[in-house]
Amino acid sequence: YLNQFDFLYNAVGIKSAAHVYFGKAPKDLKIEEAATLVGMVKNPAYYNPVRQNERTRQRRNVVLAQMEKNGKITKAELDSLSALPLTLNFNRVDAKDGIAPYFREELRRMLRAQKPVRENYRGWEAQKFIDDSIAWETNPLYGWIEKNPKPDGSKYDIYSDGLKIYTTIDSRMQKYAEEAVAEHLGGYLQPAFFREKRGTKGAPYTTDRAELSEIRRNHLVRNAMKNTDRYRMMVKAGASKDEINRAFHTPREMKVFTYNGSVDTVMTPLDSVLYNKHFLRTGFMAMDPLNGHIKAYVGGPNFSYFQYDMVSTGRRQVGSTVKPFLYTYAMEEGYTPCDEFSNTQPVLTDETGKVWAPRNAGSARVGEMVDLRWALTNSNNWISARLISQLSPPSLVRTMHNFGITAELPPVMSLCLGPADVSVKEMVTAYSAFANNGMRVDPMFVTAIADNNGNIISEFSPRHTEVISEKAYYRILSMLLNVVNEGTAHRVRSRFGLTAEMGGKTGTTNYNADGWFMGFTPNLVAGTWVGGDERFIHFNTMAYGQGASMALPIYGRFMKKVYGDPSLNYSQSAKFDFPADVNLCEKEFYGYYDEEVNADNNAEDTTMDGVFD
C-alpha cells in the first residue's frame, strides 16, 4: 500500500516520499520522519507538512503515541521525539528532472497510447497517423494500457498502481550520452554558433536571402510567437492584436536557459523566443544491435526547456547517411566494391524530365575512374547519382522501408542524396543491420512489466528482420568500415583515438541545416543528429556545419566514455567476423581500399542545392 500511495508533490510510494520530504532512502529515515509519512496516509492534503507544519507535527505525534502504546518505543523516547520540531529537507520532484527524461516521456506516451483514429490527427500529421497505426499493430508496448486490462476489466494507472516497468536503459551509458551532448554542444558548438550570429540582423536565422527572404523570416518569427503559452493565453483572454504585440515587445523579468544553469534576466518575450531558437537541437540514441535494447536516449539539449523529442518524434533530412542503403541495394543487384565509375559530374534527366546535375563538395580524383569503395568512403555525390541512374528509385524506396524506415520516401533519383525526413530512432534501427549480419532489430524500450506484487504481466522479446543477404552484407560492411578508417568519419580515429573496429557514415544537408553521424561496432549501434530548431537556422560554413563537426563528436565522446568504463564490458578488441573464403570483389579479396585520402578532401559532401525546394 505504501508503494502506491500518493504523498503529493509527485511523490508516489514511500521511496519517493522519503526523498521528497526528507532527502533520504526509506531505510535511512529517523523514527520521527517515518512517523510523519505514516501519519500523512490518513489525508495527505490535510496533513501536508509543507503547508501545515504544526498540524502535521501533531499528527506525527499521534503515530508516535501509538508506537509507544504497542511497545515499539519507550515512554522516554515518545516524550523526546514528540518534542522535536517537524524539520523537512524538501525536494520537489519534477517529471522533467532525473535521468533519461526524453526516454521516460516517450515511454509514457507509448504505454498510454490509444488506438489511432484518422479523425483525431490534423492534416499535417498524416505520417504520424501511419507511424502510430503501424506501432499499434506491431508493437505490443504501444498502447499497452489499452491492450492489457486488469483481471477485473479496469485499466491500469501507471502513476498509482505500483507497476514495475523494467526498461532497457543502462544508467551508466545514459549518463555518458547526456555528458557527451552537454560537452560538445554546450562546451564547443553552441558558443561557436553564438559567436557567428552575434550582431547579425535576423539572427539566428540565415542571412542568405536566396535561401530565406526577409518576408518569410518575419512570418517564421510570427509563427514562433503564436506557438508560445503567453500568446495562447492572451488570445484566450480576448486580448487584441495590438495588446499582444505590445506585450511581446515589453521587457520583463524572466528565467532563461544556459548550459551553466538557468539565469535570471530581463528581456522582451519576443527576444526570449529568438534567444531560445539560437540553441542547437540534437537527438542521440545507442542500441544493442543483437537484441534491440536501447542503452542511451537523448532527445534534446535540455528537457525542461526543449521538450520536443528529436529521437522518436522529430524527423530531419538525412543527407549522405542514406548512401549505405543505396550501396546495399547495389550490392544485392550484383555490384561489388571494386566496380568503377567515372568521377565526373553526371548530367541526368529526372522523373519529371528536368536536367539533374548534382554537385560535389570535394575535388579529389575528378576525371578519374574510381571504385565504389572509394566513392562511399569519400561520400561522393556523383557516383551515387550514376549508381541510382542504373538502378531503380522505387526499388531504393523498398530497400529503405525494409531497413525499418517508415517515413514516406519520394521514389526519385535525388533520394540517393538524402532529401527524405527520417527520425534518429529509424536510422539507428536501420543501421543495426550493418552491425548484426544483415539482421535488423527493432528498438526495445522495456523487457517486462510487473504488478505491484512483482507478478510479471507482460514480457517483451526482440524482433529481427533479415534485410541484407550474406554476400551483400560483407561487401557493404567492408565499405562502411573504410569510411571510419580512411574517409569522412576518420575523426573518430584522429580526434578521439578510438581503435575499435567500427563502421559509420557522416551526413550533411543543404546549407549545413542537418549534421548526422551513424556509427556501429559488433555490439553497439548509435546515431546522432544536430541542427537548428528550423532548417533555416544553421552555421554558415562547413567548418562547423558538416556532420563530421556537428554530430560525430557526440558519438566519439560517448564511445570514449563507454570504453573507459570497465564495468560496461565493451571492448575495443571486438571484431566483425569475415569468413575466410569471403569474396568481396568476385575475383579475389582485396581487403580495405588503400587509397590515401587527403585531409582537405575529408569534408562531407552535401546534397545538391535546390533539390528539396
- The CATH number of whichever domain residue 32 belongs to comes to 1.10.3810.10
219, 252, 277: which is the final residue of a domain? Answer: 277
Pairing of strands 369-371, 340-342: antiparallel
The list of the chain residues with pLDDT below 50 reads 587-602, 605-613
Residue with cell 520521527: 32
Please indicate, yes or no, if residue 199 is contained in any of the structural domains: no
Q: Which three cell numbers stand for residue 435?
A: 552491425
pLDDT of residue 362: 81
Please indicate, yes or no, if residue 147 is contained in any of the structural domains: yes
pLDDT digits (tens, 9 = 90+) for 144-195: 999 999 999 999 998 878 899 999 999 999 999 999 999 999 999 999 999 9
Residues 333 and 370 in one domain: yes
Residues 111 and 74 in one domain: no
Please indicate, yes or no, if residue 248 is contained in any of the structural domains: yes
Q: Which three cell numbers stand for residue 61?
A: 505525534
Residues 150 and 287 in one domain: no
- How many distinct structural domains can be found in the chain? 4
Q: Which three cell numbers stand for residue 280?
A: 542547437
111, 140, 167: which is the final residue of a domain? Answer: 167
Residues 322 and 341 in one domain: yes
Residues 154 and 298 in one domain: no
Handedness of CA 108, 114, 118, 120 (dihedral sign): negative
Query: Taking the CB of residue 504, how many other CB atoms lie within 10 A of it?
Result: 26
- Structural domain containing residue 233: 205-277
Residues 401 and 483 in one domain: yes
pLDDT of residue 604: 52
Residues 257 and 361 in one domain: no
pLDDT of residue 361: 81
Measured distance CA(551)–CA(493) in Å, rounded: 15
Residue 322 sits at the vertex; the CA angle it makes with 316 and 324, to the nearest 5 degrees, is 155
Please indicate, yes or no, if residue 423 is contained in any of the structural domains: yes
Residues 272 and 290 in one domain: no
Residues 229 and 372 in one domain: no
Please indicate, yes or no, if residue 90 is contained in any of the structural domains: no
> Which run of H or of E encompasses 283?
strand 281-287
Residues 312 and 380 in one domain: yes
Query: Taking the CB of residue 168, how many other CB atoms lie within 10 A of it?
Result: 19
Please indicate, yes or no, if residue 483 is contained in any of the structural domains: yes
Please indicate, yes or no, if residue 181 is contained in any of the structural domains: no
Residues 373 and 505 in one domain: yes
Residues 254 and 135 in one domain: no
149, 167, 185: which is the final residue of a domain? Answer: 167
pLDDT of residue 8: 86
Nearest to 294 by CA among 139, 403, 425, 105: 425
Nearest to 415 by CA among 321, 556, 491, 545: 321
Helix axes 229-236, 214-226, angle to 10 degrees: 70
For residues 468 and 332, the answer to whether their CB atoms sit within 8 Å is yes
pLDDT of residue 610: 35
Q: Which three cell numbers stand for residue 386?
A: 550514376
Please indicate, yes or no, if residue 3 is contained in any of the structural domains: no
Please give the model's pTM, rounded to 2 decimal places.
0.85
Q: Is 314 helix (H, G, I), strand (E, B) or coil?
A: coil
